[in-house]
Each structure stands twice: as structure tokens, then as C-alpha cells.
Amino acid sequence: MGSSVVDPDLRLTVVLLVLTALAAAAGRFSGLGEERPILVAAVRATVQLAVVSTVLLAVVESLLLSAAFVLLMTGIAAITAAGRVTGRPLRSPGARDRLLATALPIAGGAAPVVLLVLGSGTVPFRGEAVIPIAGILIGGAMTATSLAGRRLNEELESRRGEVEAALALGLLQRDAVLLVLRTAAASALIPPLDQTRTVGLVTLPGAFVGVLLGGGTPLEAGAAQLLVLLGLLAAEMLAIWAVTELVGRGALLERVPR
């Protein structure tokens, strides 16, 4: 093995194929019927990472191109979250409004953290640093947006009567919705909270392992992982807050009682 942690050679190809086959077999024989989604996801990940790796060779050399790539990631994250939250196809009526409504919590969650990290000089203002940090935070905000939006959508379906009762008592739409649904939104914060609480005790996440295997000291690895974890916690909390407010104001889910 050279300077890279993982060499893209024949051994890697064989291992990846075996891992994919193992996951697909488990999806089939468990009775969950998830073998096809697993295979599709594996193929998509392979193609996408091959393309992105090629593109990044040129993009990271330019801050302008790096910023454009970050905007592209945000747009794709918004498209993904919109589908998850509403369960409606991209080309259905109102798609533009749904995309804007999901882009807001994603960008609103990730942007302040990225600006703080870069503005403080904690992470160098270079493409090879900006894109990974922004990608991690955008991905976390996307996941939080999807989880919070779906949870609120499900809760609204089952507790619609309570919201309507609160409206009948004279509460404003936002107050009625949040009175009933705010606790459900908080459940979207459970994954990042658990990951932060148990880091080093249950798992050693990717940033820590990556720095360590890349030649960094354990102290440097710990510092990098702490920055990622607390950055994700802040970004995801901001995203969940934004989603909750959007749902409360009827700007994200279309079936909110008024």
C-alpha cells in the first residue's frame, strides 16, 4: 500500500463486490425484499463517486469552482429531501415551492457552520478543505431535514384532530401546529445526539479514523472529529428548527390545517 489508505486495485474491487453481494443476499433472505434497492444504491454510488472524483481533480484547484460545486451539492440535497419529506415526485405540481422549502433548512443549517469554521481559520480556505467540510455539513442538514419533515408529516396525519382542536380554541396556525408537533420534530435530533454522546466509547467515526490512518496523531484525529461532530450537531439543530417553523407556517407540508 502506498500513501493512500485504500489502494484502488483488484483486491478492492473483489471486496466491494463481495460486500454488495452480502448486503443484497441479506436483503433477500431476510424477507425484507431490499436486494434490488441495495444493488441499485451500490451501482449508483460507484458511478457517482467515480465521476465526482474525476471532477474534483479540477474543481479543488479553484475556489470559485469549489463554491459552485458546494451549491450543486446543496441543490441535490434539496431535491433528495423534498422527495423524502413529501413523498411526491419532482415533476408534480408545486415542485418548485417544495424545493425552495427544503433548500432553506439545508442551507440555513450548513451555511453558518461553514462560515464560522472557514472564517475562524480553523479549516484552511482552500478547495480541498472547503468541499469536504461543506459536504459533511450539507449531508447532515439534509438528513435532519428529511427525518424532521417525514416525522412531522406522519405525526400530522395521526394527530390532525388535535391541531384542528387547537385552532378551534383560537390559536394561530403556527402555535397550534407547534403545540402538537414540536416534540415529534425533536426526534430527528436523536441520531446526531447519540453519535456525539458515544463517540470514542462505542464508535470511532470517519473523520477520526481518516486522519489517523492518513498519518495524523491521535490528538489531531480527535480534534478533527470533534469539529465535525459539533458542527453537525449545530447544522442539524438549525435545520430541524427551520423545518419545524416551515411546517408550522404551512410552507412545507400542504395538508397543514389552517
CA distance 13 to 220: 31
CB within 8 Å of 167: residues ≥ 6 apart: 173, 176, 257, 258
Q: What is the pLDDT of residue 42?
A: 94
Mean pLDDT over 53-76 rounds to 88
Higher pLDDT among residues 53 and 137, named by residue: 137
Mean pLDDT over 146-170 rounds to 84
| Residue pair 137/212 in contact by the 8 Å Cβ criterion | no
CA distances to 3, 41, 50, 116, 204 from 6, rounded to whole Å, are 9, 21, 15, 32, 18
Q: What is the pLDDT of residue 107?
A: 94
The helix, strand and coil proportions of the chain, stated in percent and rounded to the nearest 5, come to 80, 0, 20
| Grid cell in block for residue 104 | 432553506
DSSP assignment, residue 31?
A: S
CA distance 208 to 77: 25
pLDDT, averaged across the chain: 85
Higher pLDDT among residues 213 and 47, named by residue: 47
Q: What is the pLDDT of residue 202?
A: 72
Q: What is the pLDDT of residues 226-237, one digit of tens each?
A: 888 999 999 999
Minimum mean pLDDT range among 68-82, 157-171, 181-195, 209-223? 209-223
- Angle at the Cα of 225 (from 222 to 227), degrees rounded to 5? 110
Percent of the chain with pLDDT over 90: 33
Q: What is the pLDDT of residue 90?
A: 63
Q: What is the pLDDT of residues 109-130, one digit of tens each?
A: 999 999 999 999 888 888 888 8
Q: What is the pLDDT of residues 1-10, one digit of tens each?
A: 444 556 778 8
Q: What is the pLDDT of residue 83?
A: 83
**pLDDT tier at 16, thresholds 50, 70, 90:** very high
pTM over 0.85: no
Mean pLDDT over 16-34 rounds to 92
| Residue pair 59/65 in contact by the 8 Å Cβ criterion | yes
